[in-house]
Amino acid sequence: MKKGIDTAHILIESLPYIKEFYNKTVVIKYGGHAMVDEELKKNFALDIILMKYVGIHPVVVHGGGPQINQFLKKMNIQSDYIQGMRVTDGETMDVVEMVLVGKVNKEIVGLINFNGGKAVGFSGRDGDLIQAKKMTILKSQEKDAPPELIDLGRVGSVTHINPDVLHALGRKDFIPVIAPVGVGEDGRAYNINADLVAGAIASCLEAEKLVLLTDVEGVLDPDGKLIMSMSSSEADELITSGTAAGGMIPKIKCCQDAIGAGVGKAHIIDGRKLHAVLLEIFTRDGVGTEIVA
């Protein structure tokens, strides 16, 4: 009886959050350890299904770096990185698209459907959902030296999101699962960072929340303690001071861009924890860092 009562208390405590986010869109970037560990994978699928059944509209954007690396290694294709970006020539792009769209995407969709959900998977090329252009980055130079452009190959940045296919799926109560492959004006596929895609889709849909699953606790302060909540300007201070560094910087900037475009809140959470998404949305403290306007 006590266990049943405890369960009832948990449900009652979540009621205000269910009410607040009912009929709202939440975009989740799914990646990291949560995509590898079997228990975490199943529980992520259950989190998404529960969100849908209580009236929230989840949209999943997934990565797949480790899986791509595995296939490239099997095929003896060298994969290089520059400033954290995978150099993507034509041969590598074929593998990226095959793995993200043909393997990883379908595994996520299958897991959601097997556990009672109703998901549909596709890439940004379907319905021209993610329109892209070639990304170029600047090579670090000595002072007063002219900048040098670095060619990353078929690495893209988002230029436009066409939400028609997402609206159509939403009317039929499907859960969209999106692989971060975009299409350029030349009709070719482009490999795009999944965080950037999730942020762009959240902005386009004016989502209530953007949630980025990571393999770290969240954003830490100078003493190494988790920051539960911070403003966009406070996030700037962390970057300027060097407290936030490395791979955390693009995640923070992605969240800031989304908030600036009208997304309610953005969250960087620890995807290594069971039911991380539910804990972040339906509890007061959550399991990561929230960034607000």
20-51 pLDDT per residue, tens: 999 999 999 998 888 888 999 999 999 999 99
Question: Which two three-digit tokens encode residue 81?
Answer: 């990185």
User: What pLDDT, on the 0 to 100 scale, is given for residue 61?
Assistant: 97
Cβ contacts of residue 102 below 8 Å, gap of 6+? none
Question: Which two three-digit tokens encode residue 219?
Answer: 């954003």
Q: 198: closest CA among 183, 176, 217?
A: 176
With a cut of 80, say whether residue 117 has pLDDT above it: yes
DSSP for residue 66: H
For 151, what's the count of Cα atoms within 13 Å in the CB-facing half-sphere? Answer: 3
Q: Which residue has the higher pLDDT, 102 or 142?
A: 102
Q: Which residue has the higher pLDDT, 211 or 152?
A: 211
Architecture of domain 23-211+250-285: 3-Layer(aba) Sandwich (3.40)
Average pLDDT over residues 68-72: 91
For 81, what's the count of Cα atoms within 13 Å in the CB-facing half-sphere? Answer: 5
Q: Which residue has the higher pLDDT, 14 or 114?
A: 114
- CA separation for the pair 270, 203 (Å, rounded): 22
User: What pLDDT, on the 0 to 100 scale, is given for residue 142?
Assistant: 58
- CA separation for the pair 106, 22 (Å, rounded): 28
Give the residue carrying structure tokens 């205000």: 16
According to DSSP, the β-strands at 57-62 and 175-179 are parallel
- CA separation for the pair 214, 274 (Å, rounded): 13
User: What pLDDT, on the 0 to 100 scale, is given for residue 289?
Assistant: 94
* pLDDT-derived band at 86, boundaries 50, 70, 90: confident
pTM (predicted TM-score): 0.92
- pLDDT per residue as tens digits for the range 124-166: 999 999 999 998 877 765 566 666 677 888 999 999 999 999 9
Q: What is the mean pLDDT of the chain?
A: 90
- pLDDT per residue as tens digits for the range 153-206: 899 999 999 999 999 998 899 999 999 999 999 899 999 999 999 999 999 999
Average pLDDT over residues 240-256: 88
| Angle, CA of 168, 109 and 68, to the nearest 5° | 115
